Amino acid sequence: MSNRTTVTEFLLLGFSDVREVQILHFVLFLVLYLVALLGNLLIIMVVSLNHHLHTPMYFFLVNLSILDLGSISVTIPKSMANSLLNTRLVSYSGCVAQVFLFDFFNSADVALLTVMAYDRYVAICQPLHYETVMKRTACVHMAAGAWITGIVNSAVLTGSMFARTFCRGNTVDQFFCDIPQLIKLACPDSYPSVTGAIALCVFLALICFLFIIVSYVQIFKAVLRIPSEQGQHKAFSTCLPHLIVISLLLSTGFFAYLKPTSSSTTWLDLVVAVFYSLVPQVMNPVIYTMRNKEIKAALWKMMGLSLVSKN
């Protein structure tokens, strides 16, 4: 039988051993993290303080911002601290917490984006029934369902991963504790249960993605029937960014979780991880603030009122 030692901590390889590259990594991640942090906090604040934005779409957008804040705060600050302090260690319990929270926030994110696609479908394809279908209680139940889905999905993944024994070292080829890299360290007899849990989660994510695609196909059909070019442009500008973000998140996530463990280089794994753990969380606030006239109007109004009160 192979020797099996108890793993008490993990070693995150990160991007480089070169000090200059570590500092560059810290600066770049700091800038991106601050953009995501400020952007998502801005959305939460503007929607919360403006009663004109208390609609289903912005209610879901606030939930999305909260999830994005959680997702990016689970991995990026620890990675920046490791680069700045030139350390790589993360405790076993810290790794478990990182895996659970990261998968929870991202699973709930996918579920909520599915709900948001349905909200846009009802708003554009069934406008006369929108207020009836998207009532306050229905919106709360759908948002709660997305959060519960994230918890259950993450519990299954994390439980199946850390119920196994790690007999191939403790070096993780990633800048955070990520399941695809942890699988490489697990003993061979762990693969069936972990693979089954991943297959179930990927299947649920694929169902969400197909539902989103069907919703947007119906939306685009309805939009093309709008005689006004301004109406078409408004509908497309609302829906296309949403579709781009979910496609980026799921495509990179599918690639990371479904590819064979030895089929790609460490640098490719790092780049893919950045795309599904950092880029969507940065893009969402930019898309929903810079391209949303109602958010910008509420922001300018709030800033104007604050300036008047100071004067």
C-alpha to C-alpha distance for 80 and 22, rounded to whole angstroms: 9
Please determine, for residue 305, whether its predicted confidence score (pLDDT) is greater than 70.
Answer: no
pLDDT confidence of residue 119? 92
What domain range is 69 assigned to? 9-310
Q: Does the pTM of the predicted model rise above 0.85?
A: yes
C-alpha to C-alpha distance for 84 and 255, rounded to whole angstroms: 30
Please determine, for residue 34, whether its predicted confidence score (pLDDT) is greater than 60.
Answer: yes
DSSP 45-101: HHHHH-GGG-SHHHHHHHHHHHHHHHHHHHHHHHHHHHHHHT--EEEHHHHHHHHHH
Please determine, for residue 309, whether its predicted confidence score (pLDDT) is greater than 60.
Answer: no
Does 302 fall in a domain? yes
Average pLDDT (178-203) is 79
pLDDT confidence of residue 148? 95
Average pLDDT (239-253) is 81
- Domain CATH for 158: 1.20.1070.10
Does 1 fall in a domain? no
More confident call, 174 vs 122: 122
Bridge partners of residue 10, in order along the sequence:
90
pLDDT confidence of residue 293? 72
Reported confidence tier of residue 62, pLDDT bands at 50, 70, 90: very high
Please determine, for residue 4, whether its predicted confidence score (pLDDT) is greater than 50.
Answer: no
Count of structural domains within the chain: 1
Q: Which two tokens stand for residue 84?
A: 């700045």
C-alpha to C-alpha distance for 83 and 98, rounded to whole angstroms: 17
116: Cα separation from own chain's centroid: 14
- Say what the alpha-carbon torsion angle 23, 91, 96, 192 is, to the nearest 10 degrees: 100
Does 2 fall in a domain? no
Please determine, for residue 96, whether its predicted confidence score (pLDDT) is greater than 50.
Answer: yes
Average pLDDT (103-115) is 93
Which of 17-26, 204-213, 299-308 has the least mean pLDDT?
A: 299-308
